[in-house]
Structure 1
Amino acid sequence: MSSSTFVGNPRRPRVIVFDVNETLSDMSTMPERFVDVGATSPLAGSWFGGLLRDGFALSAAGNAGKFADVGSRLLKAMLHGVQLNRPLDAAVEHIMDGFLRLDVHPDVADGVTALAEIGIRMITLSNGSVGVAEKLLDSAGLLSRFEMLLSVDAVGEWKPAAHAYEYALAQCDVDDPREAMLVAVHPWDIDGASRAGLATAWLNRDGGGYPDYFHAPDLEATSLVRLAQRFGSDVAS
């Protein structure tokens, strides 16, 4: 797939459902938080991957936890025995606070603005809290562009469970799932939304490959600006 090719030629969506963590938020500063407390920067990637893994597992077992709670408790386990420069609880608090200090990716402001200007409704659906999404978008001056901010906390199941996407559709008053498009950087999110009937767009900023055991996205774009252009915006790249 290329950044300018539709797969199955999906129609322009009435609503775009955005993932938040890594799709809108730039998490490249999180490794610094680990270094701040005396841990090593690679631990950040291991921790976030483990957070998703354990969150998915708890959800599948019928005992979905809150994103921040799972993240904090996993951090305590992973930092146990590490030579930190502050008490363990303080280290965990410092790292988790990083989620409230994130910026959006460089393409997000122009892309979101362009999508809003061509009349596409936008919401967020996150495995994290509404508060984190609100802080992120408010800091970027983009909060007013979004019709609503949603969290799977209201459903009790993490994405990629079908109920999470169905909840978003119901909140948007969208009867036909193909009138909504999930936009995410995570192939597992694309797959879950596709299985729930939504159109999908994979945001592939780094030019990586897409795992072929997941449902393929309807559209691939290298940035939100490119996505807006595909739907008729004249925003410059």
Structure 2
Amino acid sequence: MAVRTGGSQDPGRDGPQRGATGRDGQVATGWVTPVAGEHRAPARRPRFAIVDVYDTILRLDALRSRFVDVGRPEHECDLFLARAARDGYALALSGTPGPFGEAGLQALRSTTHHLLSDEALHHVMDGFLSLPPHQDAELALARLASARIPTYALACGSGADAVAALDRAGLRTYLRGTLSTDDLGVVCPDPRAFTMACDALRAERERTVLISVHPGDVHGALRAGLLGGLAIRQSGGVPTTMDPPHVSAPRMDDVVEQLLALPG
């Protein structure tokens, strides 16, 4: 498995099963959800950290100005990002995954009603290479580095693009390397993405934390047996439909401080 340096597939917890057979031999109807916490990692100080890139470290809202540049309303940026994620997940779930960037490009075409030239489309997509960091991201990454926690970035899409963006933001110096869903061949929040990432890093899952602003990604990591740190600056809280993270806080650096305070 390729890990872009900076400076055995395991599906983890089983997902919901349809038509499970009960003790009486009858086929049950409805979804049978595994018991929350069945394979939950104990709350201990992590030895490795994996940090989501887009919207956790780098600000996706900066893409809005690119929409204005090409004559489109900036609110289309949010719709584009939602459609790109939806289509990427749909392709993965249907067994036809591909480069996430291609799904994003097609989502951009449909969001802008197929009115943009190729040059305009690529102007928007090139914005992913120059996203500014969130204010709390460097503080969090620097704190992990000072605590001697090997930290890796995990990007949805191209690893090369993520490396370029992190370089431009001046943050890759804090990272041991970068992983990407394109390289893994599995889209987050599929638990396999996190087990494969840990395998690539030779990191023990229950001592590896995923830090993200996306509750779904943290939920997938928890189901894979990792620790979970959720920065709620975007979601405002922890969804009750998902497994609770080991720690949560509004700011990414506060999440890191809580993780480092866990018992060793």
TM tier, shorter chain? 0.7 to 0.9
The unaligned stretches of length 5 or more in structure 1 are: 1-7
Partner of 2:154: 125
**Given the alignment of the two structures, is residue 111 of structure 1 paired with residue 140 of structure 2, yes or no?**
yes
* CA deviations over 1:113-158 (Å, ceiling 9, x no partner): 1110011110112222112221222123221221110011123220
Distance 1:19 1:95, change over 3 A: same
Supply the distance in 1 between the matched residues of 2:120 and 2:242 (Cα, whole angstroms): 36
Any runs of at least 4 consecutive aligned residues in structure 1 with deviations exceeding 4 A, and if so which? Answer: none
Supply the distance in 2 between the matched residues of 1:231 and 1:202 (Cα, whole angstroms): 11
Supply the distance in 2 between the matched residues of 1:27 and 1:71 (Cα, whole angstroms): 13
Bigger Cα Rg: 2
Distance 1:89 1:136, change over 3 A: same
- Among 228, 232, 245, the residue aligned to 1:217: 245
Supply the distance in 2 between the matched residues of 1:224 and 1:213 (Cα, whole angstroms): 22
- Among 21, 27, 46, the residue aligned to 1:13: 46
Give the alignment of 1:61-210 within 5 angstroms: 61-80=94-113, 82=115, 87-175=116-204, 177-206=205-234, 208-210=236-238
Aligned-pair CA distance for 1:216: 1.4
Aligned-pair CA distance for 1:81: 5.4
Aligned-pair CA distance for 1:197: 0.8
Supply the distance in 2 between the matched residues of 1:206 and 1:68 (Cα, whole angstroms): 23
Supply the distance in 1 between the matched residues of 2:252 and 2:161 (Cα, whole angstroms): 20
AA aligned opposite 2:242: F
SS in 2 for 1:17: strand
Supply the distance in 2 between the matched residues of 1:142 and 1:91 (Cα, whole angstroms): 28
* Higher alpha-carbon deviation: 20-29 or 208-217: 208-217
AA aligned opposite 2:225: G
Aligned-pair CA distance for 1:54: 0.8
Query: TM-score, normalising length from structure 1?
Result: 0.87
* CA deviations over 1:7-39 (Å, ceiling 9, x no partner): x97211011111111011012211111111111
Q: Does the Cα contact within 8 Å between 2:154 and 2:181 map onto a contact in 1?
A: yes
**Given the alignment of the two structures, is residue 60 of structure 1 paired with residue 93 of structure 2, yes or no?**
yes
Would you tell me which structure has more helix in proportion to its own residues?
1
Supply the distance in 2 between the matched residues of 1:36 and 1:105 (Cα, whole angstroms): 22
Identity %: 32
The unaligned stretches of length 5 or more in structure 2 are: 1-40
Aligned-pair CA distance for 1:229: 2.5
Supply the distance in 2 between the matched residues of 1:227 and 1:32 (Cα, whole angstroms): 30
SS in 1 for 2:86: helix
* Higher alpha-carbon deviation: 178-187 or 123-132: 123-132
Aligned-pair CA distance for 1:231: 4.3
Supply the distance in 2 between the matched residues of 1:62 and 1:206 (Cα, whole angstroms): 30
Supply the distance in 1 between the matched residues of 2:155 and 2:82 (Cα, whole angstroms): 16
Supply the distance in 2 between the matched residues of 1:66 and 1:100 (Cα, whole angstroms): 16
* Higher alpha-carbon deviation: 199-208 or 158-167: 199-208
**Given the alignment of the two structures, is residue 46 of structure 1 paired with residue 93 of structure 2, yes or no?**
no
Partner of 2:255: 227
Q: Does the Cα contact within 8 Å between 2:228 and 2:247 map onto a contact in 1?
A: yes
SS in 1 for 2:244: coil
SS in 2 for 1:65: coil
Supply the distance in 1 between the matched residues of 2:53 and 2:113 (Cα, whole angstroms): 29
Supply the distance in 2 between the matched residues of 1:38 and 1:112 (Cα, whole angstroms): 36
